[in-house]
Structure 1
Amino acid sequence: MSALSAYDVILAPVITEKSSMASESNQVVFKVRRDATKPEIKAAIEQLFKVKVLSVNTILRKGKTKTFRGMRGKQQDVKKAIVKLAEGDKIDVTTRI
């Protein structure tokens, strides 16, 4: 990792019903920076949690247009990373980093 630290790449864990179902198959979902690459995400997860990462899949969700009190606005784009861990490794996302 060049100028960014591991805390700059990984923003927050995603805790939803779908991500908790993915945890049964040894996967964890994180919200990451939009310009983060898969190797940067893998290195950050391995450095922060001391686990072995097998693969990283990323999703870029485009921001939606919403109306709030008559004003139109656009939500930001969000990048999520689905990280598959090696057998026996585990990350507890309920604890804070």
Structure 2
Amino acid sequence: MDPYSVIIKPQLSEKTMNQIYDENKITFVVRRSANKRVIKEAFQDLYDTKVVGVNTHITPRGNKVATIELEEADAAEDIAVRLGVF
């Protein structure tokens, strides 16, 4: 599956911004049919980082959201800056 079709956009809220700073995690809205393995591979391909784990859930609006935990060497802040979040 094409990485650009798996990861749709960053999910931004006060909670997700705190996760970027405190827990080295970044949150994205992803394609609903994507599983954790596909999300992990797509993220690693797009951003050249190592992923420790992926947690997913479906929001009440029907969007699938993935919280991606990065290794300590790869800062979620750096990726957020590259995305233009800050």
Aligned to 1:37: 35
**Structure 2: runs of 5 or more not aligned:** none
Greater share of residues in strand: 1
SS at 2:73 equivalent: coil
SS at 2:37 equivalent: helix
Deviation, structure 1 residue 93 = 5.3
Matches within 5 A, 1:21-32: 21-24=18-21, 25-32=23-30
Deviation, structure 1 residue 94 = 5.8
Aligned to 1:19: 16
Q: 2: CA distance between counterparts of 1:11 and 1:93?
A: 17
**Structure 1: runs of 5 or more not aligned:** 64-76
Structure 1's 93 and 34: CA in aligned 2 closer, same or farther, altered over 3 A?
A: farther
Please, what is the CA RMSD of the aligned residues?
1.3
Q: Determine what percentage of the aligned residue pairs are the same residue.
A: 36
TM-score by length of 1: 0.77
8 Å CA contact retained: 1:13, 1:93: no
Structure 1's 20 and 10: CA in aligned 2 closer, same or farther, altered over 3 A?
A: same
Moved over 3 A (4+): none
**Matched residues, number:** 80
